[in-house]
Amino acid sequence: MSRPFATILLLASLFVAGCDQFKTLTEAEQIARSIQQEVKRNERGLDALIAAADNTTYDGFAWRRGERIQIRQRLTEGEQQGELQLLAEAEAPEIIATAVANNLPSFSIVRYQQGWLVVFNTYLTEHCQAVYAYAYRGQLPEVPSCSEERFAETANGQCQSPITANWQLFKEWFFAESLVAEGNPKCISKAEQGWRVSGN
């Protein structure tokens, strides 16, 4: 084989290998990357926001610059125990001040176990699951690591992937049973295999 031809083959193989590295990300991968980048970009600001929230007795905050803050408290009794109730009169100026001081123009955070969830996005998997994707400030020792196999095998579940020492990418998913009634063939197939929403 002549040297120029061998060089062309080598360059072609390198080009093909390079193209593989630039393949399009799935929606799940895009959302995961976005959450990881956002946490790493302003981890100090998010830490400050969580610290301010932790100093309150409330369980949830949502705010967008220029709008009134929404504050929620988890119900501790009755049929709706555990659900978050919007409080009409509550104020939290220290939360807004912390967000402004740390360049956080909007946020939605919820107390969860021993830490806080930062709400980011939802998406639908190819296995007919609605996935809620969060950044979690704290440790979740009982939650397994995320993998594609876990989604393929489990109708409903939770998983995590580390972002930094203190932050995790946390996902919680449920079988999208409502899409069965809409005639989605993938969801119908999963329902026929016995998949149901947790508790059903």
In a domain, 149, yes or no: yes
- Any idea which of 18-27, 71-80, 145-154 has the lowest mean pLDDT? 18-27
Q: Which tens digit of pLDDT belongs to each residue from 135-165?
A: 999 889 999 999 999 999 999 999 999 999 9
Q: Is the pTM of this model over 0.85?
A: no
Q: Given pLDDT bands bounded at 50, 70 and 90, which one contains residue 21? A: low
In a domain, 8, yes or no: no
Judge whether residue 16 has pLDDT over 60.
Answer: no
Judge whether residue 86 has pLDDT over 50.
Answer: yes
Share of the chain above pLDDT 90, in %: 80
Q: Which tens digit of pLDDT belongs to each residue from 182-191?
A: 999 999 999 9
Q: Which two tokens stand for residue 39?
A: 């946490």
In a domain, 10, yes or no: no
In a domain, 175, yes or no: yes
Strand partners, 141: none
* Structural domain for 128, as ranges: 25-192
> What does the pLDDT read at residue 25?
87
In a domain, 12, yes or no: no
CA distance 22 to 16: 10
> What does the pLDDT read at residue 107?
96
- Any idea which of 14-23, 76-85, 156-165 has the lowest mean pLDDT? 14-23
In a domain, 11, yes or no: no
Q: Given pLDDT bands bounded at 50, 70 and 90, which one contains residue 199? A: low
Tokens 């988890």 appear where?
74
> Averaged over 38-59, what is the pLDDT?
97
Q: Given pLDDT bands bounded at 50, 70 and 90, which one contains residue 198? A: confident
Q: Which tens digit of pLDDT belongs to each residue from 91-150?
A: 999 999 999 999 999 999 999 999 999 999 999 999 999 999 999 998 899 999 999 999
Domains: count for the chain:
1
In a domain, 79, yes or no: yes
For residue 88, give every residue at least 6 positions away whose Cβ sits within 8 Å of its Cβ, in sequence order, or none. none
In a domain, 198, yes or no: no
For residue 167, give every residue at least 6 positions away whose Cβ sits within 8 Å of its Cβ, in sequence order, or none. 39, 43, 46, 135, 136, 137
